């Protein structure tokens, strides 16, 4: 589907308006659910001396901050860990900027400006946070089906398929078994990397419920995802994929909070720890252990509304490579 690059055409379209109304309901349900579980919403920073280096393949954007090179946030992960110094259960609705490679312009899954529902919880295990994520996604599906049936109808969503997501608990498979399944389908997936988006489409096309992929290999993710002590090389992390071919909605993990291990992990990724001075000082003085996740809001909206592309789930879409307002 080609995108409407004219803002009037896009914003005045009945379809855009319906999708944005669905997104509004999603945000209401997310905030209610997290508030009921004791989470506090904070407003995230947009710039900082460093940002998440784990934005695979995407370029960061530099700005001149009074003679210092600062970054626009590719994700709020470092600040999520910092915020646990104030509160045990926190979330942001955070804007992210990633200059994604040009070849992602047509995937329907990549914008250069998007938002994450970014949640972090002190003392949580991977199971705790996966349980919270599953309950949150279920709540959003239930509430949109309840409150927005007409709007879902307007955008042509197959609501029976959406309702099927609620029938059984979300399944789980490890990264290595997902790679095995893809190889069996003849898809050339690299076993040391994240599942590529074409592979995700294939796995997600066979699914009727959202499902987790766990235990991604070290090197495929950021230094902040905790390594499994019992299984070195494998991380205590996960993705949640949406069914019906939609693919990745969310990535999450238990976090590394040991100072020496964080420094070693940063070095392993080829980065200079000195760049992360504020974060490492904080880690040296002590940060809580935690687990958390980030759900892409436009991807979540795309799945719930059943539209082809994430640009349809943004009021001001920016597609990689395309100049836009
Ligand atoms: P990541 O840290 O790369 O796992 O990103 C967290 C979540 O943000 C992903 O699970 C997606 O839902 C979403 N996301 C990441 N990159 C993009 C993008 N370029 N456009 C839209 N959503 C994205
Ligand atoms: Mg991810």
Structure confidence by residue, pLDDT tens digits, 220-255: 999 999 999 999 999 999 999 999 999 999 999 999
Domain membership flag for residue 21: yes
Are the CB atoms for 291 and 253 separated by under 8 Å? yes
Domain membership flag for residue 321: no
Distance CA 81, CA 66 (A): 26
pTM of the model as a whole: 0.97
CATH code of the domain covering residue 243: 3.30.930.10
pLDDT in tens, 132-165: 999 999 999 999 999 999 999 999 999 999 999 9
> Is residue 57 very low, low, confident or very high in pLDDT (cuts 50, 70, 90)?
confident
pLDDT in tens, 165-207: 999 999 999 999 999 999 999 999 999 999 999 999 999 999 9
> Is residue 4 very low, low, confident or very high in pLDDT (cuts 50, 70, 90)?
low
Choice among 56-60, 253-257, 303-307 with the minimum mean pLDDT: 56-60
Distance CA 63, CA 83 (A): 24
Look at strands 40-41 and 89-97 and give their pairing: parallel
**Backbone phi and psi for residue 247, each to the nearest 5 degrees, phi listed first:** 85, -160
Domain membership flag for residue 322: no
User: Has residue 302 got a pLDDT over 60?
Assistant: yes
Residue 85's pLDDT is 98
Pocket (CB within 6 angstroms of ligand 1)? 55, 75, 98, 100, 110-111, 114, 116, 248-251, 294-296, 298-299, 310
Dihedral over Cα of 199, 205, 207, 208: its sign: positive
Which residue intervals of the chain are DSSP H helices?
7-12, 14-36, 77-83, 126-147, 149-154, 159-164, 175-184, 197-205, 259-268, 277-285, 297-305
CA 308 to ligand 2 centroid distance, Å: 19
CA 282, 228, 226: angle at the middle one, nearest 5? 25
Distance CA 26, CA 85 (A): 28
What DSSP element (H or E) covers 68? Answer: strand 68-72
User: Has residue 69 got a pLDDT over 80?
Assistant: yes
Closest residue by Cα to atom 18, ligand 1, is 110
Domain membership flag for residue 232: yes
Residue among 294, 302, 313, 322 whose CB has most ligand 1 atoms within 8 A, to mutate: 294
Residue 71: left if φ>0, alpha if ψ -120 to 50, beta else—which one?
beta
Distance CA 107, CA 111 (A): 10
Residue 273's pLDDT is 97
Domain membership flag for residue 251: yes
Mean pLDDT of 7-29: 97
pLDDT in tens, 241-299: 999 999 999 999 999 999 999 999 999 999 999 999 999 999 999 999 999 999 999 99
Residue 5's pLDDT is 72
Supply the range of the domain harboring residue 231.
7-313
Domain membership flag for residue 42: yes
The structural domain count of the chain equals 1
Residue 56's pLDDT is 73
pLDDT in tens, 28-50: 999 999 999 999 999 999 999 99
Distance CA 121, CA 293 (A): 9
Domain membership flag for residue 36: yes
CB-based contacts of 109, cutoff 8 Å, min separation 6: 197, 247, 248, 299, 302, 309, 310
Residue 39's pLDDT is 99
CA 251 to ligand 2 centroid distance, Å: 4
Domain membership flag for residue 319: no
CA 296 to ligand 1 centroid distance, Å: 5
Q: What ligand has the least distance to the C-alpha of 75?
A: 1
Residue 133's pLDDT is 99
């Amino acid at each position: 589907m080609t995108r409407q690059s004219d803002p009037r055409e896009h914003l005045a379209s009945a379809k855009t308006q319906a999708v944005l109304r669905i997104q509004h309901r999603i945000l209401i349900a997310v905030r209610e659910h997290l508030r009921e579980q004791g989470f506090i919403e904070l407003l995230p920073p947009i710039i900082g001396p460093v940002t998440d280096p784990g934005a695979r393949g995407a370029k960061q954007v530099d700005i001149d901050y009074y003679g210092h090179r600062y970054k626009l946030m590719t994700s709020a992960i470092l600040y999520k860990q910092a915020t646990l110094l104030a509160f045990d259960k926190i979330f942001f609705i955070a804007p992210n900027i990633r200059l994604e490679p040009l070849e992602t312009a047509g995937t329907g899954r990549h914008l250069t400006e998007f938002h994450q529902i970014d949640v972090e919880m002190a003392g949580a295990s991977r199971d705790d946070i996966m349980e919270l994520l599953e309950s949150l996604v279920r709540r959003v599906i239930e509430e949109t089906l309840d409150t927005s049936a007409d709007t879902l109808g307007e955008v042509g969503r197959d609501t029976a398929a959406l309702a099927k997501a609620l029938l059984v608990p979300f399944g789980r498979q490890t990264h290595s078994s997902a790679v095995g399944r893809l190889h069996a389908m003849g898809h050339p997936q690299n076993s040391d990397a994240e599942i590529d988006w074409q592979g995700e489409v294939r796995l997600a096309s066979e699914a009727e419920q959202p499902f987790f992929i766990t235990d991604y290999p070290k090197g495929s993710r950021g230094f902040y995802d905790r390594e499994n002590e019992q299984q070195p090389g494998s991380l205590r992390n996960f993705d949640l994929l949406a069914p019906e071919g939609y693919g990745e909605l969310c990535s999450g993990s238990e976090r590394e909070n040991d100072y020496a291990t964080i420094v070693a992990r940063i070095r392993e990724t080829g980065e200079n720890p000195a760049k992360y001075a504020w974060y490492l000082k904080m880690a040296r003085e002590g940060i809580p252990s935690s687990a958390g996740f980030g759900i892409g809001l436009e991807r979540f909206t795309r799945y719930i509304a059943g539209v082809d592309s994430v640009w349809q789930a943004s009021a001001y879409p920016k597609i990689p490579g395309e100049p836009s307002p």
